[in-house]
Chains A and B, each alone.
Chain A
Amino acid sequence: MKTDRIRALVIIFMCGFLWCPAAFAKEVAFEAHLDREKASLGQVLQLELGFEGTQDMPPLTFPEVEGLQISYLGPATRMSIVNGKVSSSITHIYSVKPLKEGDFKLGPFTFEHNGDTYRASEINLEVVKGSLKADSQPAGSAQVSSEDISDRVFLVMNVENNKVYLNEATALTIKLYVNRLAIRDIQYPEFSHEGFSVGQFEKPKQYTEVVGGVNYDVIEFTASIFGMRQGEFRLGPASLKCNLLIRQQQHQRFPGGFDDFFNSNMFDNFLGGYQNYPLDLKSADIPVIVRSLPEESKPQNFTGAVGDFGIDVAVGPQEVKVGDPVTVKITVSGKGNLNTVNMPHLSSSKGFKIYEPQVKQDDASKVFEQVMIPLEESIREIPAIDFSFWDPAAGKYREITKGPFPIRVEKPVREEKLAIVSSQQPQDHPGPGDEMLGRDIVYIKILPGAFSRHGRFLYNNLFFLWMHLVFPLVFLVILFYEKRKRKLKSDPRFARQLSAPKKARAYLLKARQYCSSGDPALFYDTVFQLLQEYLGDKFHLPSQGITMSVVDDVLKSKGTDEAILNMLRVIFRECDAARYSPLASGKDAMLDTLSKAEAVIVYFQKNRS
Chain B
Amino acid sequence: MGFKRIAVGVLVYVFLCKAVAAVVLAQSAPEPAPEQLFSRANDLYRAAQYSEAVDTYEKIARQGSVNGNLYYNLGNSYFKKGDIGKAILNYERARQFIPYDSDLKANLDYARSLVRVNSSQYSRNRLLLWLHSLSDGLSVDAVTVFLSILFIGIFVLLTCHIFIPAIRKYTVFLLAGILIVFFAGAFSLYWKINYLTKGAVVIAKETQARFEPSENATAYFTLTEGNRVEVLDTGAHWFKIRRPDHKIGWVDKTVIELIGQ
Contact = CB atoms under 8 A, between A and B. Distances in A.
Interface of A: 420, 439-455, 457-459, 464, 468, 471-472, 474-475, 478-479, 482
B148 interface: yes
Nearest to A418: B106
Interface stretch (B1-9, B68-76, B213-221, B237-245): B68-76
B66 A442 contact: no
B250 interface: no
B162 A478 contact: yes
B38 A448 contact: yes
14 contacts: A420-B106, A441-B79, A441-B110, A448-B34, A448-B35, A448-B69, A448-B70, A449-B68, A452-B66, A457-B140, A457-B141, A458-B148, A468-B152, A472-B155
Nearest to A419: B106
Contacts of A445: 69, 72-73, 103
A455 B193 CA distance: 11
Given A478-B162, A482-B162, A451 B189 contact: no
Contacts of A482: 162-163
Given A441-B79, A458-B141, A453 B64 contact: yes
Nearest to A482: B162
A468 B68 contact: no
A328 B70 CA distance: 57
B159 interface: yes
Contacts of B111: 441
A276 B48 CA distance: 92
Given A441-B76, A454-B64, A471 B162 contact: no
B158 A459 contact: no
B260 interface: yes
A451 B66 contact: yes
Q: Which of A450, A454, A474, A479 has the most CB of B within 10 A?
A: A454
Nearest to A483: B162
Contact of A450 (B67, B73, B193): B67
Interface in B241-261: 260
B138 to A, nearest CB: 12
B207 interface: no
Interface in B40-89: 42, 45, 60-61, 64-70, 72-73, 76-77, 79-80
A451 B70 contact: yes
B159 A442 contact: no
Nearest to B192: A459
A439 B112 CA distance: 12
Q: Sorted from nearest, which 10 A-B pairs have the closest CB atoms?
A: A451-B65, A448-B38, A442-B103, A445-B69, A458-B144, A444-B73, A441-B107, A471-B155, A475-B155, A449-B69
B92 to A, nearest CB: 15
B39 interface: yes
Nearest to A479: B162
Q: Which of B70, B73, B145, B155 has the most CB of A within 10 A?
A: B155
Nearest to A473: B155
Given A441-B79, A452-B66, A459 B193 contact: yes
A446 B70 CA distance: 10
Contacts of A441: 76, 79-80, 106-107, 110-111
B158 A475 contact: yes
Contacts of B45: 444
Contacts of A450: 67
A482 B159 CA distance: 10
A457 B195 CA distance: 14
B151 interface: yes
Interface string B102-131: 010011001101000000000000000000
B242 to A, nearest CB: 23
Given A459-B144, A468-B151, 15 more contacts: A440-B110, A441-B106, A443-B103, A444-B76, A445-B72, A445-B73, A445-B103, A447-B69, A451-B35, A451-B66, A455-B260, A458-B145, A459-B141, A472-B155, A475-B158
Contacts of B162: 478-479, 482
A577 to B, nearest CB: 53
Contacts of A474: 155
A475 B144 contact: no
B42 A444 contact: yes
Contacts of B35: 448, 451
Contacts of A446: 42
Contacts of B66: 451-454
A453 B64 CA distance: 5
B64 to A, nearest CB: 5
A459 to B, nearest CB: 5
Nearest to B113: A439
A472 to B, nearest CB: 6
Nearest to B72: A445
A459 B195 CA distance: 14
B180 to A, nearest CB: 19
A459 B155 contact: no
A459 B111 CA distance: 30
Contacts of A479: 162
A442 B106 contact: yes
B140 A471 contact: no
Given A445-B73, A475-B159, A451 B110 contact: no
B155 A452 contact: no
